[in-house]
């Protein structure tokens, strides 16, 4: 005969095993059969009751929905850009599905995520691994929001940030100019000179620069960033810039404006829709093709390894060196958060000395400095008086 407790019941089955039962807050009866230790059944009931009191109770069967099922729903969201959806689908297929497709979300543990991440790091590049981890965390975040699981098991510190093989570096203005000039001296690459200058001194993303049309080049040395382009799954996708703040107007230095004007005259047709930095055939420029040309120029100029994206770092760093505020950098670079803008504010060694000199100008001469400067004049005057005697 069942023995009734304050919460649920425990009874002994003919097999000698014990069964615990209770009615959940949804009105459904839950039960679980244990071995011959009655205490295990009571402990299970006590845990369920504690979850109810803490308002952390979850229906046990809800956690049986697989990670793959949540992934399908996540990738079908209407608010994902087509290029983003394609990226996520590739990350899921290549890096996540083999491990997590059929695993119930209720069975995903921090230890399991850590084991997967350690194994994946041996065969996956740092950027792809960080992207895959962020995607898994987002998918499981939906399960948390749906109250299927109590907490997100993706808790690895630093796993969402790729560990670069080397620190990013910003070029000096002279180095960027040298790269551009080297490209400009070769008939095969001269059409890329203005592109390097716009990337380095305007801070545009590569996809933003290569999506520019002649009509986006405005009077007064400005370019209007209204769209971006990416090559995804064998086709070009033209869409909005990466962030909401990506739509912006960027002012260029006078020398870059001059180089851009010459570029438009020599390499771009008169059509308002003509690509400013396209190929000779007038099509979009692929980042891989430009990357090869860029790397050869870097080697020829004698610079340490530099990635094309570091031209954007250069643009932000040089802008910061002029004294631009974080807010001004956010607007110029198309960032929505200060944290993103601060990534590109690399400190230059000489800037600290310049800051100290500027502070000295604000302070003005101190009493001690005035006293020290006046001392030689007083000593000369005293000597003249003594001599006249």
Which of 202, 200, 193, 185 lies closest to 290 in space, CA to CA? 193
Q: Is 205 a catalytic residue?
A: yes
Half-sphere exposure of 322 (CA within 13 A, CB side): 11
* Pair 176, 201: CB distance under 8 Å: yes
* Alpha-carbon gap, residue 72 to 219, rounded angstroms: 48
Burial of 340 (0-12, 13-18, 19+ CB in 10 A): middle
- Per-residue model confidence (pLDDT) at position 177: 94
Catalytic residue among 137, 248, 263, 312: 312
Kind of pairing, strands 9-12 and 217-218?
unpaired
**3-class SS string, the chain:** CCEECCCCEEEECCCCCEEEEEECCCCCEEEEEECCCHHHHHHHHHHHHHHHHHCCCCCHHHHHCEHHHHHHHHHCCCCCCHHHHHHHHHHHHHHHHHHHCCCEHHHCCHHHHHHHHHHHCCCCCHHHHHHHHHHHHHHHHHHHHCCCCCCCCCCCCCCCCCCCCCCCCCCCHHHHHHHHHHHHCCCCCHHHHHHHHHHHHHCCCHHHHCCCEHHHEECCCEEEECCEEEEECCEEEEECCCCHHHCEEEECCHHHHHHHHHHHHHHCCCCCCCECCCCCCCCCCCHHHHHHHHHHHHHHHCCCCCCCCHHHHHHHHHHHHCCCCHHHHHHHHCCCCHHHHHHCCCCCHHHHHHHHHHHHHHHCCCHHHHHHHHHHHHHHHHHHHHHHC
Tokens found for residue 136: 């898994």
- Per-residue model confidence (pLDDT) at position 346: 52
Catalytic residue among 309, 331, 346, 351: 309
- Per-residue model confidence (pLDDT) at position 164: 64
Q: Is 312 a catalytic residue?
A: yes
> What parts of the chain have a pLDDT lower than 70?
1-6, 61-63, 164-167, 340-341, 343-355, 360, 362-389
Q: Is 346 a catalytic residue?
A: no
Catalytic residue among 137, 193, 230, 335: 335
β-sheet bridge partners, residue 235: 232
Tokens found for residue 10: 């425990």
* Alpha-carbon gap, residue 84 to 80, rounded angstroms: 6
- Per-residue model confidence (pLDDT) at position 1: 47
* Alpha-carbon gap, residue 117 to 111, rounded angstroms: 10
* Alpha-carbon gap, residue 138 to 123, rounded angstroms: 22
Tens of pLDDT, residue by residue over 255-293, are 999 999 999 999 999 999 999 999 999 999 999 999 999
Q: Positive or negative, the Cα torsion across 354, 360, 363, 364?
A: negative
* Residue carrying the six token digits 């120029």: 297
Catalytic residue among 95, 137, 191, 205: 205
* Alpha-carbon gap, residue 321 to 346, rounded angstroms: 9
* Alpha-carbon gap, residue 85 to 338, rounded angstroms: 26
- Per-residue model confidence (pLDDT) at position 14: 92
* Pair 128, 122: CB distance under 8 Å: no
Q: Beta-carbon neighbour count of residue 237 at 10 Å?
A: 15
Which of 10, 75, 71, 4 lies closest to 43 in space, CA to CA? 10
What rounded mean pLDDT belongs to the chain? Answer: 86
* Alpha-carbon gap, residue 317 to 346, rounded angstroms: 6
* Pair 331, 248: CB distance under 8 Å: yes
Domains defined along the chain, listed by start: 3-57 (no CATH), 64-145 (1.10.150.130), 173-343 (1.10.443.10)
């Amino acid at each position: 005969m069942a023995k009734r407790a304050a919460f649920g019941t425990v009874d002994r089955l003919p097999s000698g095993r014990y069964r615990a039962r209770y009615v959940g807050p949804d009105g459904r009866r839950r039960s679980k059969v244990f071995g011959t230790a009655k205490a295990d059944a009571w402990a299970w009931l006590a845990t369920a009751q504690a979850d109810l009191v803490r308002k952390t109770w979850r229906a046990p069967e809800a956690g049986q929905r697989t990670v793959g099922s949540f992934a399908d729903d996540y990738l079908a969201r209407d608010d994902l850009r087509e290029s983003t959806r394609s990226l996520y689908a590739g990350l899921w297929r290549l890096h996540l599905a083999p491990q997590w497709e059929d695993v119930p979300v209720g069975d995903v543990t921090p230890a399991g995520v850590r084991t997967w991440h350690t194994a994946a790091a041996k065969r996956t590049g740092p950027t792809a691994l960080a992207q895959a981890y962020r995607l898994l965390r987002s998918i499981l975040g939906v399960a948390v929001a749906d109250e299927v699981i109590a907490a997100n098991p993706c808790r690895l510190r630093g796993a969402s940030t790729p560990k670069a093989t080397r620190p990013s570096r910003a070029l000096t203005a002279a180095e960027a100019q040298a790269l551009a000039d080297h490209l400009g001296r070769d008939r095969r690459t001269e059409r890329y000179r203005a592109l390097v200058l716009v990337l380095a001194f305007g801070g545009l993303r590569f996809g933003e620069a290569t999506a520019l049309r002649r009509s986006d080049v405005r009077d007064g040395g400005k370019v209007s960033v209204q769209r971006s382009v990416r090559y995804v799954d064998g086709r070009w996708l033209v869409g909005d810039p990466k962030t909401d703040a990506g739509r912006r107007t960027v002012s260029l230095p006078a020398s870059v404006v001059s180089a851009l004007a010459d570029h438009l005259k020599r390499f771009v047709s008169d059509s308002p829709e003509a690509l400013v930095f396209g190929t000779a055939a007038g099509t979009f420029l692929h980042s891989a093709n430009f990357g090869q040309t860029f790397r050869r120029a870097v080697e020829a100029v004698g610079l340490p390894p530099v990635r094309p994206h570091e031209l954007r770092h250069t643009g932000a760093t040089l802008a910061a060196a002029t004294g631009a505020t974080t807010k001004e950098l956010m607007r110029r670079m198309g960032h929505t958060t200060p944290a993103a803008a601060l990534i590109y504010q690399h400190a230059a060694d000489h800037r600290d000395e310049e800051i100290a000199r500027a502070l000295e100008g604000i302070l003005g001469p101190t009493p001690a400095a005035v006293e020290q400067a006046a001392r030689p004049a007083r000593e000369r005057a005293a000597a003249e008086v003594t001599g006249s005697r």
